[in-house]
C-alpha cells in the first residue's frame, strides 16, 4: 500500500508542472471561472432553467437583424424605383414635346414635300348627299 501512495504523491507534482507550463490564456480563464464560482453566477440549475429565455432572446436578436436588413433592401428598391420614375417622366415629357412640334401643320408640310405631296391652297368643300326620294 505504501508503494501506491508514493506513486500518487509523485504524480501530482508532474500534473501541476504541466498546468504551469500551459499558456497564460488558460490561467486567466481559470481565474475567471473561479471568480464566477465565488459569486455563484453560473450553477447548473440556474443555467438549465434559463435556457428557454436565452433562446428567446437569441431569436429576438436574429429577427431584429433580419428585419433591419429587409428594411434596408426595401429602401434601396424604393430609391431605385424613384430614380427610374423620374427618368421615365422626363422621357415622356421630351417625347410629348417632340410629338407636339412634329404635329404642327408647317412641320407636316415640310415632311411630306419629299413625297411630292403639297399642301392644298383651296378651302375644303363640303359634300352633301341628296335624299333619293
Q: Return d(Cα 129, Cα 133) in angstroms, integer.
A: 12
Q: What is the pLDDT of residues 43-93, one digit of tens each?
A: 778 778 889 999 999 999 999 999 999 999 999 999 999 999 999 999 999
Task: List C-alpha distances in Å: 34 to 2, 26, 126.
Answer: 34, 12, 111
DSSP secondary structure, 46-69, as one string? HHHHHHHHHHHHHHHHHHHHHHHH
pTM for this predicted structure: 0.48
**Mean model confidence pLDDT for the chain:** 81
Amino acid at each position: 500500500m505504501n508503494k501506491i501512495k508514493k506513486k500518487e504523491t509523485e504524480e501530482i507534482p508532474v500534473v501541476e508542472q504541466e498546468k504551469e507550463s500551459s499558456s497564460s490564456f488558460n490561467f486567466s480563464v481559470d481565474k475567471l471561472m473561479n471568480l464566477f464560482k465565488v459569486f455563484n453566477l453560473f450553477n447548473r440549475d440556474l443555467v438549465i432553467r434559463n435556457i428557454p429565455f436565452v433562446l428567446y432572446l437569441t431569436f429576438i436578436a436574429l429577427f431584429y437583424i433580419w428585419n433591419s436588413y429587409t428594411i434596408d433592401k426595401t429602401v434601396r428598391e424604393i430609391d431605385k424605383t424613384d430614380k427610374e420614375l423620374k427618368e421615365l417622366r422626363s422621357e415622356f415629357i421630351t417625347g410629348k414635346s417632340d410629338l407636339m412640334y412634329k404635329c404642327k401643320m408647317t412641320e407636316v408640310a415640310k415632311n411630306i414635300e419629299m413625297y411630292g405631296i403639297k399642301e392644298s391652297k383651296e378651302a375644303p368643300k363640303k359634300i352633301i348627299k341628296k335624299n333619293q326620294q
